Amino acid sequence: MSKLVIVESPAKAKNIKGYLGKGYDVVASMGHVRDLPSARLSVDIEHDFTPKYAIIKGKENFVKELQKKADKSDYVYLATDPDREGEAISWHLATILGLDMNDKNRVTFNEITKHGVEQGMEHPRSIDIDLVDAQQARRILDRLIGYKLSPFISQKIRRGLSAGRVQSVALRLVVDREEEIRAFKPEEYWSIDAKFTNPPGKKTFAAALNSKNGKKVKITCKEESDQILSDLEGAEYVVTAVKKGTRKKSPTPPFITSTLQQEASRRLSFQARRTMKAAQELYEGVDVEGLGTVGLITYMRTDSLRISEEARAAGNQFILDQYGEKYLPKKPRYFKSKGNVQDGHEAIRPSMPGVTPAQVKSSLTSDQYKIYKLVWERFIASLMENCLQETVRAEITAGDYTFNASGYTVKFDGFTALYEESKDDSSGDTSAPLPEIKTGDTLRLKSLLGNQHFTQPPARYTEASLTKALEENGVGRPSTYVTITSTIVAREYVKREGKQFVPTELGEAVIKLLKDKMPNIVNVKYTSKMEEDLDKIDSGEKDYKDMIRHYYDDFEKPLEEAK
């Protein structure tokens, strides 16, 4: 028997062919083969929003070849990516090739390993029409809004402009943030910072003025600061309280698409597109010395935090072998995904947890290695024991004034032996360990300074923090974050200054017009509700034509008035 397997990319086709062996022909569709032609609206509004699909220009010969191959095959498997977009591609392929929609011909691979491919082939199912409808609803809504809104803003602002359903909200966030920064008025404040030693130990430690006669001190100018420094001249500094405690620090969950993009941006200064390119290559498979061609990570477009028990067991075994029993929690840790996620997926994790970054480094490109190391370390750390810290907080009194000093020492490093998430700002916990001090100790003052500060405006968005804001607001989905951010830059609505996004005059003009005339289009909550409704189509709770009709009516009337 000859079997035809259709996947999306040539790299994946080659690797899957290697696992399936004789009797299988594996071909790549190179993404979508059918779509809404861009030269016209391609949606029949009068007839219940029927989409008018056509073969994508330049793919006609490929489709003919595919039809010939399908005709000669005893069976056709549709093995496109395991998400909404992949489901829609499979549905389009089934339509073009005349396959039975009820047939169990749809297979998905969460990882491109021998085991992952065998698992997928052993569990074929029929095409999930709810998933397809959710993709169609998204595509049709985006087309309707983009096609109708773009001429309006082109006519009012500048020829050739375009607007999109999700991009407009992303642009609004950037513009709103810029307005906040402009409106921000910095306020002056001062701190009184001391450095002490506690003889006989010579170790210096820092403390900051906190209160006077039990009331919190707020210093707004140099005169007030100088007055306090004058009050403290010749004062004796005595430790009046020492409070010790312990705190637990837990690891972050394994990556989902948005957190991988954010961490790669913070840690590696990678733009999202670069991160996803390396992740895609690692998923589709690379030739690794000693292992052959293998996919090193699971599917990289996901918003689920679930991991398979098999992967957990492999990760736990690695931790036991490398770190010992005390680094493994007594009770396994489960992370809960937020909101409405496609939980058939797993989080992004190494497909073979026992394969370390060092083992594969020589077989990978620099970008692939850096992303694999990030994914692997984050996954293994997520299975490890908490970090335990011993905290010390001391109160130091000088006359009416009280200073606070705090620090911690690591009692047990736990997961931090391998990995800690980086932060967007550097204002994290920087407290160093305190030397041994006890109540009643008289400290030696090394320095006492008044330091001027100004309150800071909110930071401009970076690609990472904008993705985080979109995700937190329920706007966009794992497969669209890269497109959203790159589109607003490509349209010159936003420019990059270093890592930061700064709106252009054009971007601000577009948002001003839309806020004024089409407020729903740039309303974060409204767009988030639309995303929720699209997710309800996924799960079969909503009919996709009803959903489109509702939002189109909501959009069409204000647009006519605006015109």
Q: Who's near 310: CB < 8 A, 6+ residues apart?
A: none
Kindly state the tokens that stand for 255.
């990556």
**In this structure, are residues 154 and 479 in contact, taking their beta carbons and an 8 Å threshold?**
no
Please state the separation of Cα 226 from the chain's center in Å: 47
257-268 helix and 463-472 helix, angle to the nearest 10 degrees: 160
In the block, residue with structure tokens 């389009």: 92
Whether the bond between 329 and the residue before it is cis, its omega within 30 degrees of 0, is no
At 537, which helix (H) or strand (E)?
helix 524-538
DSSP-assigned beta bridge partners for residue 501: 496
Q: Who's near 467: CB < 8 A, 6+ residues apart?
A: 258, 261, 262, 272, 481, 485
Q: What is the CA radius of gyration of the chain?
A: 29
First to last CA, the chain: 61
Give the catalytic positions in this structure: 299
Nearest to 471 by CA among 423, 524, 422, 426: 524
Kindly state the tokens that stand for 518.
């089409």
Q: Which DSSP state fits 459?
A: P
Rounded distance, CA 224 to CA 220, Å? 7
Kindly state the tokens that stand for 346.
């797993």
Q: Is 428 exposed, middle or buried (0-12, 13-18, 19+ CB in 10 A)?
A: exposed
Q: Which DSSP state fits 126?
A: -
In the block, residue with structure tokens 């072998």: 321
Beta strands in 296-432 (DSSP E): 387-398, 401-412
* Residue 221 burial (CB count, 10 A): 12
Beta strands in 138-227 (DSSP E): 188-197, 204-212, 215-216
Q: Who's near 250: CB < 8 A, 6+ residues apart?
A: 333, 386, 415
Phi–psi pair at 532, nearest 5 degrees? -60, -40
Q: What is the 3-state secondary structure (H, E, C) of 275-325?
A: HHHHHHHHHHCEEECCCEEECCECCCCCCCCCCCHHHHHHHHHHHHHHHCH
Rounded distance, CA 375 to CA 295, Å? 13
Nearest to 200 by CA among 367, 437, 420: 437
* Residue 201 burial (CB count, 10 A): 11
Q: Who's near 267: CB < 8 A, 6+ residues apart?
A: 374, 422
**In this structure, are residues 490 and 483 in contact, taking their beta carbons and an 8 Å threshold?**
no
Q: Who's near 302: CB < 8 A, 6+ residues apart?
A: 83, 256, 257, 341, 342, 345, 346, 347, 348, 478
